[in-house]
Structure 1
């Protein structure tokens, strides 16, 4: 299992962290927040990266030309793909434009890359999940790991097993809940929890004094990222026999 840490590219803490940790493991970055210089710096120092479309950033009422945005994303993929990039998540904005429209956007992305990662949502139905696993055998498929979202905690093992039965690698988005990770050996997961904890004055389980957190935010984020890297190593070792 590889835990990809997301949200490193956003915030003033990024240069501070990159300067102090020259060799990173696995990071997930969003095309929506793309800063070319920062993106290249993170990629250079990372073993592997995943790219999110930024689709969730649009699900708060913002009006978007979906086709134009997707074409821009596709052009960027075509021009910037490297062996370090494991894959690129699709435009999974079903709740905004409907699944049929999402499938059309997926076609645009798949016309430039065979590393596009489809993201299953509950509205698509279990039949669609099974068909997706058959269609993308040998590739990465994704489900969501948000609490009280598409999938109940006790169902994750079933989704994992079906993907493996069809020789798919499976990514669980937004998932670093230990009660799930200790039971289900996903190939990949990601989370921005390390950044969220730091923003609320925590380093792991330890509370940081408000004044220290306010005046030393970069250091707090750095320490939080270090702890997240320990978690990366822990679960990679725990489940490496399944990779």
Structure 2
């Protein structure tokens, strides 16, 4: 099994998040268009003080949970305006709808973009995965698993796909659980728990509710995750 790459999620929600990133300087970040749509990436990268590999996600799931929508034209415009800072970007997928996600993917391709396609967890996933495979896509994101509480179920799904399609590099969206990292032969995944847990007071041995304590906890979580992956 190859070593899994991890993209740490940043939502630019607080200076504590930025300070933790500046302190640890993780190599790879996943940024959500939904949270950055009104903010140039140049501004964010300058605040970080270094240039990480940035994977841009549409943030479709976040938008869906808040009852919001994302216009494909706006997503394309943002990518064009920030292209020099984006290493790669994920298709504007529709939660629970592989067909519409595929339609958006094809529109982006026809417009000259090169999005990473997304296959949503569900009964029809194999049909759509096969379509992307036949189009020559060899880097595919797997979505729709965040609501699934049984992470072993997710792990087995990813393991099966990796076995069926050994030529494809899979990125698991929204999950960096230990089960997946330890048992799935996937290329990469992303993690938002490093900062969410820091806000909630984890790890417990770093006490306090101050901004400094949050930074220390977040930095600790980043370092521990980076010990597991590269």
Please indicate the TM-score interval, normalised by the length of the shorter structure: 0.7 to 0.9
- Tell me: CA distance 1:93–1:4, structure 2 relative to 1, closer, same or farther (3 Å): same
Three-state SS of the structure 2 residue aligned to 1:45 is coil
Q: Secondary structure at the match of 2:119?
A: coil
- Report the equivalent of 1:117: 116
* Superposition deviation, residue 128 in structure 1: 1.9
Pairing 1:5-154 to 2, within 5 Å after superposition? 5-21=8-24, 23-34=25-36, 35-36=39-40, 38-41=43-46, 45-60=50-65, 62-64=67-69, 66=70, 69-82=71-84, 85-95=86-96, 98-110=97-109, 111-114=111-114, 116-121=115-120, 122=122, 124-137=124-137, 139-144=138-143, 145-146=145-146, 147-148=148-149, 152-154=154-156
1:16/1:208 Cα in 2 relative to 1: closer, same or farther (>3 Å)? same
Query: Where does structure 2 lack aligned partners over 5 or more consecutive residues?
Result: none
8 Å contact 2:8–2:29 — kept in the other structure? yes
Alpha-carbon separation, structure 1, partners of 2:102 and 2:211 = 41
Q: 1:125 to 1:155 in 2, by over 3 A?
A: closer
**3-state DSSP class of the match of 2:118?**
coil
Equivalent residues of 1:12, 1:218 under 8 A apart = no
Question: TM-score normalized by structure 1?
Answer: 0.76
Matched, 1:188 2:188: yes
Q: C-alpha displacement at 1:11, in angstroms?
A: 2.1
Query: Alpha-carbon deviation of 1:70?
Result: 1.0
Q: Sort the Cα spacing of 1:125 and 1:179 in 2 relative to 1 into closer, same or farther, 3 A.
A: closer
Looking at secondary structure, tell me which structure has more helix per residue.
Answer: 1
Is the CA contact 2:93–2:100 (under 8 Å) kept in the aligned structure 1?
no
- Alignment partners' CA distance in 1, 2:14 and 2:221: 18
Aligned residue number for residue 239 of structure 1: none
Give the stretch that moved more between structures: 185-194 or 152-161.
152-161
Instruction: Give the 3 Å change call, closer, same or farther, for CA 101–182 of structure 1 in structure 2.
Output: closer
Answer yes or no: is 1:231 the counterpart of 2:225.
yes
